[in-house]
Chains A and B, each alone.
Chain A
């Protein structure tokens, strides 16, 4: 039973990591129907920014909490700027093109950013400092859930709640829903669609940057390639939960993480990907639009 709980919490940690990144994918898809493959790279750039600022502040002798907050803010601002710019450069000019064009553009952007960071920074792995402090009250439970696991879990839950509230109850949220339903109609009733889309990319990038900081701190190392692997898994989670749905992304992340964890624990870690993607195939056979995805008519 104890072993079961150990595996459960491992899966939960892994799942919330996937979920945090999956939120960005699902939001962008929900608004403009584009799979933003460069999202994983925004996550990686967020982690790199946090690392650079954190190293700088450590040299200046600041205390742990201040470093976490300032490097986190810097990462968010920097990543948001990247997200905004990518949308303007790579997606906006292609908004009325066939669906395949922005997809290829997104893959190109992803490869470009990876190589840019590799050349501008390094191809080596870099150590990432433990920015999340070890809470004293977590000490008795550290065998199966550490402080960083808890922080990631809570952040994912809070991010999901805030996003849901924002989309349901704010003016901007209503504008986002209107844009998602019919972009031209939204323009006709006076919604600044460009602003809504830019805003979506900024929110998605901020989430990716938070994820980058927390996950890099949890794992303890980064390099230019981390965004690709995390991005693929997070994208799988988003599809599993129903791409376009915010609670779906979180649910998909948890299901994926738990499946992998139990597959490792009770079968073999050699087959964790087999189980994870086997589950994806099964779910898509019976629910083609994902667990919480609504099957609606194709938009755009």
Chain B
């Protein structure tokens, strides 16, 4: 045995020894996301998912003999609050973070986790720029926006054969990022024209001016990048002004709150969302576990968060420690069975085997279109 090996071996034994003495120390997982405010419906299911998985792990004796402890922090999807929360979680020495919910908040926080060498897995932040290689600590169990934009454009051009498309967004990181990809993909295809590319102000009292502009440009479809409050207001005002253009949107709109608020105007709206995994037995078990505790259907990104937590705990188990480098290596190389299917992460941090499908509102429900 050479010298290197000896050092490694002794380090290994030393590590085991240390592991033995601090066995009682829990594995701390930070859960950061929107737990209040108008986007709470995207963040709370994640918190519930992490709690359920952690409880199961603890009931089974913990991970590596250590209890899993959860530190939940509310960022209300605001980047400035997310940065504060990230600093707080770092100071509390969390081993990993599940979150954040929104792309803007995640972008603000992920650099802080990177500096502290903390693995971060988001169940819902879909902005493509986060996985451009700057953040080796970042992983996600949801496909990025460009995958979603590709799905929307392919559907609009190949299935609906649309010619003139207005691309509208809410000026936010998520909505605008998505809209820019949609515009790029349409222009690359050369088969349809982007007649209007414009941002609207979230929370404005009235969108009739932009509706008139869409009408004036004779768009036969609107592809909207953003969240459901603006989408329901926009589609409602379009229909009231007798504008029948097809409305296609994203997983920020594929939420039952959209149908509840937009009511009859929601009928016929298309939206992309995570592929339907309700046939997966692990997904069924996860949903059943949620219903047992909360007595209602789990909301958006619940299964993504469930999968993220399972992947994280699995990786810690495989790595045999909460050491940053080992956990990252395990996440990249070990496959794990989750409610989303069998997943692993590529070198950018994207989950392999997770994708989007197109849905349409029919009779007050989102139905997957094959």
Contact = CB atoms under 8 A, between A and B. Distances in A.
Contacts of B201: 269, 272-273
B206 A124 contact: no
A39 interface: no
Given A142-B242, A215-B205, A124 B233 contact: no
A55 interface: no
A219 B236 contact: yes
A127 B233 CA distance: 10
B208 A13 contact: yes
A236 to B, nearest CB: 12
A273 B204 CA distance: 10
A279 to B, nearest CB: 16
B261 interface: yes
Contacts of A121: none
Contact of A144 (B205, B210, B212): B212
A260 B265 CA distance: 25
B61 interface: no
Contacts of B263: 127, 220
A156 to B, nearest CB: 13
A3 B212 contact: yes
A294 B180 CA distance: 48
A226 B201 CA distance: 13
Interface in B7-22: none
Given A124-B38, A229-B205, A269 B213 contact: yes
Contacts of A220: 232-233, 236, 261-263, 265
Interface stretch (A4-12, A63-71, A80-88, A241-249): A4-12
Contacts of B206: 10, 13-14, 17, 218-219
Q: Main secondary structure on chain A at its contact with chain B?
A: helix
Contacts of A260: 209
Given A143-B241, A269-B210, A123 B198 contact: no
Contacts of A226: 203
Contact of A264 (B203, B210, B228): B210
Interface in A120-161: 123-127, 142-144, 146, 149
Nearest to B232: A221
A292 to B, nearest CB: 23
A14 B205 CA distance: 7
A265 interface: yes
A223 interface: yes
Given A123-B36, A144-B212, A270 B241 contact: no
Interface string A215-241: 100111101011001100100000000
B241 A221 contact: no
Given A125-B257, A219-B236, A273-B201, A3 B208 contact: no
B229 interface: yes
B229 A221 contact: yes
A146 B241 contact: yes
Contacts of A125: 38, 228-229, 232, 257, 261
Given A14-B205, A123-B38, A265 B212 contact: yes
Interface string B11-54: 00000000000000000000000001110110000000000000
Contacts of A233: 205
A270 B171 contact: yes
A110 interface: no
A205 interface: no
Nearest to B215: A6
A261 interface: yes
B205 A269 contact: no
A227 B228 CA distance: 19
Contact of B257 (A7, A9, A17, A124): A124
A134 to B, nearest CB: 9
A149 B207 CA distance: 12
Contacts of B40: 123-124
Given A124-B38, A124-B257, A272-B201, A7 B240 contact: no
A246 to B, nearest CB: 21
Among A17, A149, A223, A270: residue with most chain B CB under 10 A: A270
Nearest to B213: A265
Interface string A7-41: 10111011001100000000000000000000000
A194 interface: no
A219 B209 contact: no
Nearest to B39: A123
B198 A268 contact: yes
A229 B204 contact: yes
- Among A6, A9, A118, A260, the most chain B Cβ lie within 10 Å of the Cβ of A6
A142 B211 CA distance: 13
Interface string B129-142: 00000000000000
A40 B232 CA distance: 22
B216 A3 contact: yes
Contacts of A6: 212, 215-216
B209 A11 contact: yes
Contacts of A270: 171, 198-199
**Most chain-A CB neighbours within 10 Å: which of B171, B210, B212, B240?**
B212
A225 B213 CA distance: 27
B31 to A, nearest CB: 18
Contacts of B41: 124
Shortest 9 CB-CB contacts between residues of A and residues of B: A264-B209, A10-B208, A229-B203, A261-B209, A6-B212, A10-B209, A270-B199, A14-B206, A220-B236
16 contacts: A7-B212, A9-B208, A118-B36, A123-B40, A126-B261, A143-B241, A144-B241, A149-B208, A219-B205, A220-B233, A260-B209, A261-B209, A268-B198, A269-B198, A269-B201, A272-B209
Interface of A: 3, 6-7, 9-11, 13-14, 17-18, 118, 123-127, 142-144, 146, 149, 215, 218-221, 223, 225-226, 229-230, 233, 260-261, 264-265, 268-270, 272-273
Given A125-B232, A127-B261, 7 more contacts: A17-B205, A123-B37, A125-B257, A220-B232, A229-B204, A261-B208, A265-B213
